[in-house]
Amino acid sequence: MRRAPPRSSAPWRVIALAVIAVGVGAGMFAARASRAIDASWASVTVDVPELDCTFWCSVRLSNILDAMPGVRAESFEPRTRQVRVRYDAALRAEADILHALIGHGIRAQTSPANPR
């Protein structure tokens, strides 16, 4: 009786992890978009030169910003290297957002063409 050679499941594991990562990322952004925002919330566009990847950079910035009460990362534009951030103006100021990013070693500044 001959035994079949053992199969390598490594390629399937890699594919499964990639599918899970994309699904988690999509769900994270969809959940963020569905949150209601009060009228007291303002927005700011932040220039982040390090925003050069489409997924992991956004996840890192989301984790930093979403950990702050009254702050929410709204959108990421790797092409322009900008992050749109919504914040509760009653709790936070634009400077708080910049200090949080800079405190985590991320170069950031408010965009000169920042619509209010």
Token pair 């910003």 is found at 65
* Residue of higher predicted confidence among 34 and 116: 116
Query: How many Å separate Cα 34 from the centre of its chain?
Result: 15
Give the SS3 label for residue 110.
Answer: strand
- Per residue in 30-76, pLDDT tens? 445 445 556 789 999 999 998 888 788 888 999 999 999 999 999 99
Give domain limits for the chain.
Answer: 11-110
- Exposed e or buried b per residue across 55-83, where buried means at least 16 C-beta atoms within 10 angstroms of its C-beta: eebbbebbebbeebeebbbbebeeeebbb
Class for the domain spanning 11-110:
alpha beta
Q: Specify whether the CB–CB gap between 68 and 30 falls below 8 A.
A: no
pLDDT > 90: percent of the chain:
45
Separation of alpha carbons 89 and 112, rounded Å? 20
Q: How far apart are CA 94 and CA 46, in angstroms?
A: 9
